[in-house]
């Protein structure tokens, strides 16, 4: 298949581009706006690859999207392009509505008009909101609580409406918290790993007892590929790792693998509207033949090792725009924070 991956220079997108090319079954066009977390270093090994093309463009730009779909005779679209960080959505909600709702709408409509055979929307388990007990199923009602998850929910609903209204063959995947190499170090795991390597404090929100279901990026991309190949048009598929952990436990495991002291943990002022727990039921996708392969301990160990051996990759990021963001997000919190055990 000739596949257009949007946001292919980001974390999940770049792993997906590599995976699709490695399968030998696809030509891949990667469209990415290269905003702060899009990083061509993630794709440096693909320079000159015969079945890979990169286009610097925005999914909100209908004219460019139209010509890419036409010029490359695209058969399938996988939309990974998104603003994805909850904390940033609290600082700047407008950019989330623009990319995650309007951009998705532009890409969707251009794909429909171009006669694309499959449109897969990469979404998130956050659209179900905070789930205190049990596990969210695909047909559960949506209850997003942050500008990020509300924008993703808007995008999902728009995508699904194209199946109902036009019978346009859409698919939606809702992934849980994903981790692995090449993740922009604003997210919990890469932030904590890289701070710990530098002997800097780890800012743990609230009581540290929030729970997430951790999914290795390879397992997430395998799930997306599986849905692309085998999913039912119009259907939603949850993709979770089955590794529900408290944030404090994850922080301690990271410190353990790095041989660093627990005193690096700082309990800091909580994220506004912080969702207590996400948990999804993945039996639909398991029934289709996918299952996660990476154990949490092994996944974290190899991820920690990757950041330990790729300091040039993340130090370049952490010395740029990230610095201003970090000071705004954490400066005061860390001054007022409480050390673990104190
Ligand atoms: O559930 C899937 C979602 O997971 C994705 O759709 C989002 O794009 C992704 O950002 C992630 O959302 P979270 O808000 O759960 O991820 P984050 O890495 O920001 O935070 C994970 C947990 O760690 C959460 O309970 C907040 C906490 N945390 C996070 C940061 C950045 C801290 O305690 N301290 C921090 O500095």
85-139, pLDDT tens digit by residue? 999 999 999 999 999 999 999 999 999 999 999 999 999 999 999 999 999 999 9
The answer, yes or no, to whether any atom of ligand 1 lies below 6 A from the CB of 247, is: yes
The answer, yes or no, to whether any atom of ligand 1 lies below 6 A from the CB of 188, is: yes
Q: Annotated catalytic, 100?
A: no
Share of the chain above pLDDT 90, in %: 98
pTM over 0.95: yes
Each domain of the chain, given as residue ranges in start order, spans 2-179+216-239
The residue count of the chain comes to 342
Q: Which atom of ligand 1 is nearest to the CA of 192?
A: 36
Q: How far is the CA of 137 from the centre of ligand 1 (A)?
A: 21
Q: How far is the CA of 123 from the centre of ligand 1 (A)?
A: 15
Residue 208 has pLDDT above 80, yes or no: yes
Q: Annotated catalytic, 326?
A: no
Q: What is the pLDDT of residue 320?
A: 82
CATH class of the domain comprising 2-179+216-239: alpha beta
Q: What is the pLDDT of residue 246?
A: 98
The answer, yes or no, to whether any atom of ligand 1 lies below 6 A from the CB of 84, is: yes
Average pLDDT rounded to a whole number, residues 35-47: 97
């Amino acid at each position: 298949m000739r596949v257009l991956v949007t946001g292919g220079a980001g974390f999940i997108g770049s792993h997906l581009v590599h995976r699709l090319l490695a399968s030998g079954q696809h030509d891949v066009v990667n469209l990415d706006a290269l905003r702060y977390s899009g990083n061509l270093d993630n794709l440096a090994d693909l320079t000159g690859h015969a079945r890979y093309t990169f286009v610097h463009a925005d999914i909100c730009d209908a004219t460019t999207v139209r010509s890419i779909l036409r010029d490359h005779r695209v058969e399938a679209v996988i939309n990974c392009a998104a603003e994805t960080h909850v904390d940033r959505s609290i600082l700047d909600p407008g950019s989330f509505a623009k990319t995650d709702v309007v951009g998705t709408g532009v890409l969707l409509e251009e794909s429909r008009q171009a006669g694309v055979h499959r449109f897969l929307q990469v979404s998130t388990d956050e659209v179900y909101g905070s789930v205190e007990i049990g596990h969210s199923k695909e047909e559960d009602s949506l209850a997003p609580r942050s500008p990020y998850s509300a924008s993703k929910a808007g995008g999902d609903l728009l995508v699904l409406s194209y199946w109902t209204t036009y019978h346009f063959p859409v698919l939606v995947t809702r992934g849980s918290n994903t981790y692995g190499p090449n993740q922009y170090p604003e997210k919990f795991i890469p932030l904590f790993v890289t701070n710990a390597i530098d002997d800097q404090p780890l800012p743990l929100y609230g009581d540290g007892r929030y729970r997430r279901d951790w999914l290795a990026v390879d397992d997430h991309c395998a799930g997306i590929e599986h849905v692309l190949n085998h999913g039912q048009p119009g259907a939603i598929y949850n993709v979770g790792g089955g590794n529900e952990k408290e944030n404090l436990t994850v922080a301690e495991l990271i410190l353990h693998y790095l041989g660093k002291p627990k005193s690096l943990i700082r309990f800091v002022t909580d994220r506004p509207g912080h969702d207590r727990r996400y948990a999804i039921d993945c039996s639909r996708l398991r029934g289709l033949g996918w299952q996660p392969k990476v154990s949490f301990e092994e996944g974290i160990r190899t991820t920690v090792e990757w950041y330990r051996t790729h300091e040039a990759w993340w130090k370049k990021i952490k010395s740029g725009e990230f610095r201003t963001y970090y000071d705004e997000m954490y400066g005061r919190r860390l001054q007022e924070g409480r050390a673990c055990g104190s």
